[in-house]
């Protein structure tokens, strides 16, 4: 029987161990790079649609308005498929109070939304940014057995190279699940600011 050289055996096992460890690090880093690449390629629309409102509903009036404003910004400034538009519309309606939702069917809302989006595209208007009231400027109060909140959002509307701010006043009401829902909003005119 031939005797094995102990040095040769040690070298072979060391090389095998280095190969296994190197392969492990390669595979683990490769999957991390791939997952990071996927996260970076998600569009703003896809990020919104990836959110589960049943388990991750915005907790405050300000966060509800920020999420609604992100959806609105997507409506008027992002590329999306017909299916994505329908899902975005559904997401925005999930932020609405039942009383507001009852004013239109899903089909009526989607039809009016499409006409509005088409008008904005024709005029080459987009929402370039928005700013929601600071938390200290949110007015919360109780009335008629409900909790209410009032706050403002200023949208920067770009039309060509011109940018104009518009401000909207939002009213929200807390539902039976403790979620803040948008009951309505109105455009704030300069006269409103002056009293």
DSSP, res 123: T
Task: Look up residue 90 and give its two tokens.
Answer: 């559904």
185: which residues sit within 8 A by CB, 6+ positions away?
Answer: 168, 169, 170, 171
2 domain-assigned: no
Determine, yes or no, domain membership for 18: no
Give the rounded distance of the alpha carbon of 141 from its chain centre: 27
pLDDT tens profile 54-112:
999 999 999 999 999 999 999 998 999 999 999 999 999 999 999 999 999 999 999 99
- Is 30 within a domain? no
Assigned token pair, 146: 């409900």
Is 23 within a domain? no
Q: Determine, yes or no, domain membership for 130.
A: yes
Query: The pTM is what?
Result: 0.75
Q: Is residue 14 part of a domain?
A: no
Q: Can you give the pLDDT at residue 15?
A: 73
In angstroms, rounded to a whole number, what is the distance separating the alpha carbons of residues 90 and 113? 11
Nearest to 71 by CA among 57, 85, 83: 85
Tally of domains within the chain: 1
Q: Supply the DSSP string of 92-106, one letter for each residue.
A: HHHTB-HHHHTTS-H
The predicted-structure confidence for 116-155, as pLDDT tens digits, reads as follows 999 999 999 999 999 998 888 899 999 999 999 999 999 9
Q: Is residue 29 part of a domain?
A: no
pLDDT band at 4 (very low <50, low <70, confident <90, very high): low
Q: How far is CA 49 from the centre of its chain?
A: 7
With beta carbons less than 8 A apart as the criterion, state whether 121 and 91 touch.
no
pLDDT at 105: 95
Question: Looking at residue 59, which CATH number applies to its domain?
Answer: 3.10.450.100
In a domain? residue 20: no
Name which residue leads in pLDDT, 182 or 13. Answer: 182
pLDDT at 26: 73
Please give the residue range of the domain that contains residue 170: 45-193
């Amino acid at each position: 029987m031939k005797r094995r050289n102990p040095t040769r055996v040690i070298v072979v096992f060391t090389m095998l161990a280095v190969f296994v460890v190197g392969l492990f690090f390669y595979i683990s880093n490769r999957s991390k790079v791939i997952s990071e690449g996927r996260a970076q390629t998600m569009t703003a629309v896809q990020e919104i649609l990836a959110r589960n409102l049943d388990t991750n509903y915005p907790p405050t009036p300000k966060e509800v308005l920020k999420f609604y404003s992100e959806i609105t910004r997507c409506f008027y400034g992002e590329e999306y498929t017909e299916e994505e538009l329908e899902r975005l519309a559904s997401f925005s309606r999930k932020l609405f109070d039942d009383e507001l939702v009852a004013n239109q069917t899903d089909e009526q809302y989607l039809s009016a939304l499409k006409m509005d989006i088409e008008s904005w595209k024709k005029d080459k208007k987009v929402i370039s940014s928005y700013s929601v009231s600071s938390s200290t400027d949110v007015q919360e109060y109780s009335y008629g057995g409900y909790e209410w909140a009032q706050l403002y959002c200023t949208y920067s509307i770009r039309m060509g190279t011109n940018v104009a701010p518009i401000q909207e006043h939002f009213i929200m009401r807390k539902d039976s699940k403790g979620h803040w829902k948008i009951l309505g909003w109105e455009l704030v005119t300069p006269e409103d600011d002056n009293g």
